[in-house]
Amino acid sequence: MMLILGCVLFFGVHSVHFVAPAAREAGLRRLGKKKWMALYSVIAGIGLVMIIIGYGAARQDPSPVYVPPAWGRSAAGVLMLPVFPLLLATYMPGRIQQFVRHPMLWATILWAAAHLLANGNWADIVLFGAFLVWAILDLLSFLYRPAKDIPRLPPKRWNDAIAVIGGLVIYGLFLVAIHRWLTGIPLIY
């Protein structure tokens, strides 16, 4: 239940800009940008903590919904390859950002889909399914709303190379150590 409530809080606050833009604008006018962002951050933070605690608790008593395909872990590894480069490209203007347009949302979609291919417990479906659905809806919302201004580094000639190389280094670190440290689940046996 904590996982579900955490998802409602976290994704609810992250969806206001495309589900209820008028309410967001009214809140910004009433509270001012700093107070609105503080409230937004507190709600998102509480939701994130609830997600982490709820997911950790749910993993202690796994309830399988489906058996991931035998090739699911391998496919997840391949789908994860562009995730960290896309995350870095979000804040480093270059050709990747111009081509993909919303690299963080695409990274989230790939990350969630990869994890759904490799995991089949109800908690996995709630967590990664929520991220997947939210990212797809946010991406689709750009069909009717203007893109928001995201703070980025200034355009530089080497931003794409830095995003790709840095992202692949982070991916490698996740493979050998960080994923196990964060989740207790080794990716390389």
Q: In the chain, what are the domain boundaries?
A: 1-61, 65-189
Rounded mean pLDDT of 22-45? 91
Give yes or no for residue 42 having a pLDDT over 90: yes
Indicate whether 138 pLDDT > 80.
yes
Distance of CA 123 to the CA centre of its chain: 16
What's the pLDDT at 22?
85
Q: Which of 16-25, 93-102, 105-114, 143-152 has the lowest mean pLDDT?
A: 143-152
**What pTM was estimated for this model as a whole?**
0.87
pLDDT at residue 143 above 90? no
